[in-house]
Amino acid sequence: MNDAIKLARLQNEMKNSTTALVLGFFIPGAAQMYAGSVGFGVINFILCVVLAITIVASPIAFILWALSMYWGYKGVIAFNNEVIKKMESQGA
């Protein structure tokens, strides 16, 4: 297969880490859902909403929201690394 075609397929399968951060900034847990961890993303969303509603737990919700963005970012990086390994193993 042509190298340009392989590169295009690789870029098409990879996810953008900046998109994950932006999604996670606006919707808690969305970065994790984008990275492929839908269950953890939904759990984080529900926890952030419930904790944000209670005034006492609002700082915990903020910390969980920030962690959720970080976990989503790292999840996208791990996903992209798996895609690269898969493509390398098919090309070798």
Encode pLDDT of 75-84 as tens digits: 999 999 998 8
- Give the pLDDT of residue 31: 93
The rounded distance, in Å, linking the Cα atoms of 29 and 39 is 9
Encode pLDDT of 37-64 as tens digits: 999 999 999 998 888 888 777 788 889 9
Confidence band (pLDDT; 50, 70, 90) for 86? confident
Residue 38 phi, psi dihedral angles, 5° rounding: -65, -40
DSSP characters over 13-82: HS--HHHHHHHHHHSTTHHHHHHT-HHHHHHHHHHHHHHHHSSTTHHHHHHHHHHHHHHHHHHHHHHHHH
* pTM to 2 decimal places: 0.80
Encode pLDDT of 1-20 as tens digits: 577 777 777 777 888 999 99
